[in-house]
């Protein structure tokens, strides 16, 4: 089982949770019909990426959204990396990604570790930490194919975390994300490519489609990059499913031919999880 097919559901997210859940289900079913085995949703897919909505629509785990993902994973016999949702835990809200295996069992929970607090003059101000709590754990999920590192959006801007995922054995890194129309054109493609090349992984970056009726204008352009830095598949800003094949022999080949991970001077510097 050295190859498997992934699908990114680049869905249009609205302020209607029922509509978002139906859209996610419809796209997951379509991806299964196209033989995808690992299906990925974008960051904050069940409500708008906006602090007020995230507080209002946050759900406990287990809850309506995660129950739906779990039962779809079981029924369709696929892995689902459920983008992220606002998760309510006690009096806190987290931006959390839940991953389910083919039996519908929860095999990974990633709470966004780096929160999107930015202020770009004349363009965009966002202060996620006003309402979202910080995740504390590095997340690598075990699948029947390989280990998959999971992080959320702004997390991917931190090369130390991405490297840690590779050092923990990830051959694929999946990042549900929602860059925007300021940061997307500036950094999206370059960041994805360099993280794939540095860590010699398949890098799967899943965005929502752009919704100009929303307060946050997601960039779109969900993309899969291989360990050599080539684009396996990509799309533009509108709703679409992006499919790509992950070839684990190719990961091994690139890592053998250009042994970056082996050539690290760990006698001179190290990276450790505290």
Ligand X SMILES: NC(=O)CC(=O)C(=O)O
Strand partners, 170: 147
Residues 212-231 within binding reach of ligand X (CB under 6 A)? none
Closer CB to ligand X, 191 or 200, in the complex: 191
Residue nearest to ligand X (CB): 183
Q: Which of 10, 51, 143, 183 binds ligand X (CB under 6 A)?
A: 183
CA distance 118 to 135: 18
Task: Decide if residue 154 touches ligand X (CB under 6 A).
Answer: yes
Closest to ligand X by CB, 79 vs 94, is 94
The residue from 43, 59, 171, 237 that is catalytic is 43
Query: Smallest distance from the beta carbon of 54 to ligand X, in angstroms?
Result: 12
9 is catalytic: no
Q: Is 43 tagged catalytic? A: yes
Which of 180/200 has CB closer to ligand X? 180
Q: Is 180 in the site for ligand X (CB under 6 A)?
A: yes
Q: Is 116 in the site for ligand X (CB under 6 A)?
A: yes
Task: Choose which of 57, 178, 225, 251 interacts with ligand X (CB under 6 A).
Answer: 178
State the angle between helix axes of 17-33 and 64-76 in degrees (0 to 180), rounded to the nearest 10.
Answer: 10
Smallest separation (angstroms) from ligand X to the CB of 158: 10
Among residues 47, 88, 112, 237, the one annotated as catalytic is: 112
* Binding region for ligand X (CB under 6 A) out of 34-42, 97-105, 135-143, 175-183: 175-183
Smallest distance, Å, CB 129 to ligand X?
11
Place of tokens 């085995």: 37
Residue with tokens 């309510």: 88
Among 45, 98, 145, 179, binds ligand X (CB under 6 A): 179
Considering only residues 147, 157, 252, 253, which one is a binding residue for ligand X as defined by CB under 6 A? 157
| Interface segment toward ligand X; rule CB under 6 A; list 51-59, 100-108, 176-184, 220-228 | 176-184
3 state SS for the chain: CCEEEEEEEECCCCCCHHHHHHHHHHHHHHHHHCCCCEEECCCCCCCCCCHHHHHHHCECCCCHHHHHHHHHHHHHCCEEECCCEEEEECCEEEEEEEEECCCCCEEEEEECCCCCEEEECCCEEEEHHHCECCCCCCEEEECCCCEEEECCHHHHHCHHHHHHHHHCCEEEEEEECCCECCHHHHHHHHHHHHHHHHHCCEEEEECCCCCCCCCCCECCCCEEECCCCCEEEECCCCCEEEEEEEEHHHHHHHHHHCCCCCCCCCCCCCCCCC
Residue 112 falls in the annotated catalytic set: yes
List residues with catalytic annotation.
Answer: 43, 112, 153
Binding residues for ligand X, per CB under 6 A?
116, 153-154, 157, 178-180, 183
């Amino acid at each position: 089982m050295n190859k498997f097919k992934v699908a990114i559901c680049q869905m249009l997210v609205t302020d209607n949770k029922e509509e978002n859940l139906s859209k996610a289900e419809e796209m997951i079913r379509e991806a299964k019909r196209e033989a995808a085995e690992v299906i990925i949703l974008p960051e904050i897919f069940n409500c708008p990426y906006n602090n007020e909505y995230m507080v209002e629509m946050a759900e406990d785990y287990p809850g309506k959204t995660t129950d739906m993902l779990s039962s779809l994973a079981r029924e369709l016999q696929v892995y689902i990396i459920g983008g992220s949702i606002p998760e309510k835990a006690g009096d806190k809200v987290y931006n959390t990604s839940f991953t389910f295996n083919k039996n519908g069992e929860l095999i990974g929970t990633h709470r966004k570790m780096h929160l999107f607090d930015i202020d770009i003059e004349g363009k965009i101000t966002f202060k996620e930490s006003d309402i979202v709590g910080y995740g504390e754990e590095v997340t690598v999920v075990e699948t029947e194919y390989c280990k998959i590192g999971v992080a959320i959006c702004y997390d991917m801007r931190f090369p130390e975390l991405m490297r840690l995922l590779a050092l923990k054995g990830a051959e694929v890194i999946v990042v549900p994300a929602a860059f925007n129309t300021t940061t997307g054109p500036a950094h999206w493609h370059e960041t994805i490519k360099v993280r794939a090349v540095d860590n010699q992984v398949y890098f799967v970056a899943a965005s929502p489609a752009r919704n100009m009726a929303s307060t946050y204008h997601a960039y779109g352009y969900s993309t899969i990059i291989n360990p050599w830095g080539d684009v396996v598949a990509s799309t533009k800003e509108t709703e679409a499913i992006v499919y790509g094949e992950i070839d684990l022999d190719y990961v091994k080949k690139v890592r053998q031919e250009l042994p970056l991970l082996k050539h690290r001077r760990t006698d001179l510097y190290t990276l450790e999880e505290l």
